Amino acid sequence: MSNLREILIKRKICKSVWFMRQAGRYLPEFRDIRSQNQNFISLCLNSELSSEITLQPIKRFNLDSAIIFSDILMVPYGLNQKVEFIKDHGPVLEEFNIKKFLNNDKISFTQRLYPIYKAIKRTRERLDKKKSLIGFIGAPWTLLIYMLGLKKDRKQINYQKIKTKEFEVSLILDKLHDYLCAHIENQINAGADVIQIFDSWAGLIVPEDLPNYCYIPNLKLVEFCRKNQIPVMCFPKGINKNYKEFNDVVKPDGISLDYDVDPNWIKANLTNVVLQGGLDPKILLSEEKKIKSAAKKYLDIFRGLPYVFNLGHGLLPETDPDKVEKLIKFFREY
């Protein structure tokens, strides 16, 4: 069985593979398109090109699932906050304005993001019906970090600002939940059949705040998906052994594994969930023998469990597509 939706619903042992960031920077066919489309936000809003990019890795590798080419920061964009992607720097958002944020409504939000839903519809029409189409969102905490400009570097945020504005932070998280539910629903209605929630900066939350900023916001989104019979996967990156508490509280259908967490510990502690990923993307920069050895480790440990083969983060820009192809071949022959 390779259909991700069925795997998540039935929790069956499976032989399924897809990769985070499989549509993008490492593919020469993507770089051709990107060179002619310098504005990243505009590219995400080009329904035809977004659909084409989404399908590039499917055409090249015949992966079992497609994930729509978009970005978690399209939600702040949909909420009328200017977002720019600066080369060699990353995303930059305009200064957050709480009045402007609260002045949004779901109709204008949906209109601004309509090209994404159109791209999903186009992709679903072109994609083999046996393959899943994954839509995604950023979790409220992770979006909050970007929207308030709290990042100091990859391992630090301005936590003091959060503690001095707790009421405002709580209000923003609650409002973000409403718009994220709308974004989920719109993606599903357009043709996506699985949702992935990326909480990319969950690891920056101090332990005592994990319930309020990570567990509860993710739980509310998972409950929304469950109520609407939408299979959902969570990726609370960086929370290490708090993965167990996250899984026990949030109870997603599937959970993406951080490459920093020991797979043997995962096997012993995460139950009643489809496991996904875990392989360090940097391994794909190594020689073939080392790549196969690392993949075999995960496949051996999770043998007999519902497990979707994937990475513990997105494919790196410098990854050789030939190595990706050999990894997929190794997995399918294993």
| Tokens read off for 38 | 């310098």
Q: Does residue 124 carry a catalytic annotation? A: no
Q: Does residue 332 carry a catalytic annotation? A: no
Distances (CA, A) of 72 to 77, 196, 202, 206: 10, 11, 14, 23
Catalytic residue among 11, 25, 60, 126: 25
Q: Is the dihedral of CA 48, 180, 73, 275 positive or negative?
A: negative
Phi-psi region of 11 (alpha: psi -120 to 50; beta: other; left: phi over 0): left
Q: For residue 67, what are the β-bridge partners?
A: 134
Residue 37's CB is within 10 A of a number of other CB atoms, namely 14
Catalytic residue among 26, 77, 117, 146: 146
Phi-psi region of 113 (alpha: psi -120 to 50; beta: other; left: phi over 0): alpha
Measured between alpha carbons, how far is 296 from 307 in angstroms, rounded to an integer? Answer: 13
> Across the chain, which distance is largest between two alpha carbons, in Å?
56
Helix (H/G/I), strand (E/B), else coil: 232 = strand
Catalytic residue among 21, 77, 122, 253: 21
Q: Does residue 21 carry a catalytic annotation? A: yes
Q: Does residue 303 carry a catalytic annotation? A: no
Catalytic residue among 11, 34, 60, 126: 34
Q: Does residue 146 carry a catalytic annotation? A: yes
Q: Which residues contact 174 (CB under 8 A, 6 or more apart)?
A: none
Please spell the DSSP secondary structure of 263-281, one letter per residue: HHHHHHH--SSEEEE-B-G
Catalytic residue among 26, 64, 71, 179: 71
Catalytic positions, written as ranges = 21, 25, 34, 71, 146
